[in-house]
Homo-oligomer: A and B are copies of this chain.
Amino acid sequence: MRLAGCAAELRRGEVATKIACEGSRRLADLAIAFLEVAVVTLEDVAKHAGVSLATASRVLNGSTRQVGASLRARVELAAAQLGYRTNVAAQTLARGAANVVGLVVHDLVDPYFAALADGAMRVAESRGLMVMVGTTHRDTEREIAYVSTLNAQRVRAVLLAGSRTADLRATRRLREELDRYREGGGRVACVGQDLLGADTVAPGNREGAAALAAALAGLGHRRFAVLAGPTGLITARDRTAGFAEALAGLGLPAPHVVHGSFDRDGGYAAVGEAVKAGATCVFAVNDVMAVGALAALRDRGIRVPDDVSVAGFDDIATLRDLVPALSTVRLPLAHMGARALELALDPADEARVEKIPGEVVLRESTRRLG
């Protein structure tokens, strides 16, 4: 048992005193008296209970327990009395793997990632795993750095949530970093595109956008605009492409495509050009952008859906009470996050790709034309 009253200031070596507690009643009491400032180890517990280290380990941290009832009780009592806390670092070192998973997201404030994270964290919790979260704020370098750190942490699995970019060099380096991690036995899954040779939960961006286009065309719209987000973001690209392809397939004119940032302000800024181009229906490639678009239209006195229809993508729960209610493509985000972590945690021989279909939901923000 090491004294560690102000462990933050103390370093090993400054702590000279050791308290022996060989089972003697008095010494045990002494030990308990010192509890307030002591770090109790498994060895302390074993001694206090009068058993071997191994037995104590089996009782307190072992998986398949095979310890007699009386010894078990003694160990548990001793642990409780001394206030024993497992030292996870020691466990991890001895076992070679941590009970931790890593989660790398772009931005927790974005409800899309929050929902994914929530789903993943529920799975983690159900399996007794802690979650280490890294936020990249869309910085590719940081994403790579997080994978590296999580690798050093020997986490059981890494979940990469969020669209890949078209930056091939960055993707390549990320992949190398992931390979390093996998070489050490790590498992990887991602939500987004199947570009990393890992288990992937792939939202049906193309198909969903196509279905949305068809539905909107079904409302009589002919002149579309797409608030397409950044050119480099594959999710944004796929949704734009799926939308455009579906229109082409229906023999309709190509949509007017406006690029911008992938967030609320991106939608706000881009929608002006969209209406100027004469679109009767604007598709923002995600809900958050759609919200920005709605705000901009409101500011310009353009009514939705009377003057122009607006649709988004994702069906973010927090945004469901918007007025007018947003037409969109629903993605089961929490499920996707959960599923991705499950894939990573239940390894298979080869990487699996699970496609998640989006469901078109038409609400008030889009109306039948004419």
How many Å lie between the Cα of A131 and that of B36 in the bound state?
A: 27
Q: Which of A65-94 contact B (CB under 8 A)?
A: 83, 85-90, 92-93
Q: Which residues of B contact A323 (CB under 8 A)?
A: 298, 322-323
- Once the chains bind, are A38 and B135 in contact (CB under 8 Å)? no
Give the residue of B4, B6, B98 whose beta carbon is less than 8 angstroms from that of A89: B98
Q: Which of A99-140 contact B (CB under 8 A)?
A: 100, 107-109, 111, 114-115, 117-118, 121-122, 125, 130-135
Shortest Cβ distance from residue A298 to the other chain B in the assembled complex, whole angstroms: 7
Give the residue of B5, B93, B134, B135 whose beta carbon is less than 8 angstroms from that of A93: B93
Known: A85-B184, A109-B334. 5 other contacts (CB 8 A): A6-B185, A12-B96, A89-B98, A108-B114, A132-B132
- Once the chains bind, are A131 and B130 in contact (CB under 8 Å)? no
Q: Which residues of B contact A93 (CB under 8 A)?
A: 87, 89-90, 93
- Once the chains bind, are B108 and A117 in contact (CB under 8 Å)? yes
- Once the chains bind, are A185 and B111 in contact (CB under 8 Å)? no
A 150-171 to B, binary, CB cutoff 8 A, 1 in contact else 0:
0111100000000000000000
Do A108 and B89 form a contact, CB below 8 Å, given A130-B132, A184-B39, A185-B4? no
- Once the chains bind, are A7 and B118 in contact (CB under 8 Å)? no
How many Å lie between the Cα of A116 and that of B347 in the bound state?
A: 34
Q: Which residues of B contact A118 (CB under 8 A)?
A: 107-109, 135
- Once the chains bind, are A87 and B4 in contact (CB under 8 Å)? no
Shortest Cβ distance from residue A89 to the other chain B in the assembled complex, whole angstroms: 4
Q: How large is the interface on A (under 10, 10 to 19, 20 to 34, 35 or more residues)?
A: 35 or more
Q: Is A46 at the interface (CB under 8 A from chain B)?
A: no
A 6-27 to B, binary, CB cutoff 8 A, 1 in contact else 0:
1110111000000000000000
How many Å lie between the Cα of A38 and that of B180 in the bound state?
A: 10
**11 A-B pairs (CB sep. < 8 Å):** A36-B183, A38-B183, A86-B152, A88-B152, A88-B153, A90-B93, A108-B117, A111-B111, A125-B134, A288-B318, A294-B321
Q: Is A302 at the interface (CB under 8 A from chain B)?
A: no
Q: Is A264 at the interface (CB under 8 A from chain B)?
A: yes
Q: Which residues of B contact A201 (CB under 8 A)?
A: none
How many Å lie between the Cα of A152 and that of B90 in the bound state?
A: 10
A 276-303 to B, binary, CB cutoff 8 A, 1 in contact else 0:
0000000000001001101100100000
A 322-360 to B, binary, CB cutoff 8 A, 1 in contact else 0:
110000000000100000000000010000000000000
For the complex of A and B, list the 4 residue pairs with the smallest distance between their C-beta atoms, beginning with the closest. Answer: A7-B185, A89-B92, A89-B93, A295-B321
How many Å lie between the Cα of A291 and that of B111 in the bound state?
A: 16
Most chain B Cβ neighbours within 10 Å, of A89, A107, A117, A132: A89
Q: Which residues of B contact A134 (CB under 8 A)?
A: 125, 130-131
- Once the chains bind, are B8 and A347 in contact (CB under 8 Å)? yes
How many Å lie between the Cα of A154 and that of B132 in the bound state?
A: 14
Q: Which residues of B contact A221 (CB under 8 A)?
A: none
- Once the chains bind, are B153 and A7 in contact (CB under 8 Å)? no
Do A184 and B4 form a contact, CB below 8 Å, given A86-B152, A114-B108? yes
Closest B residue to A317 by beta carbon equals B109
- Once the chains bind, are B154 and A89 in contact (CB under 8 Å)? yes
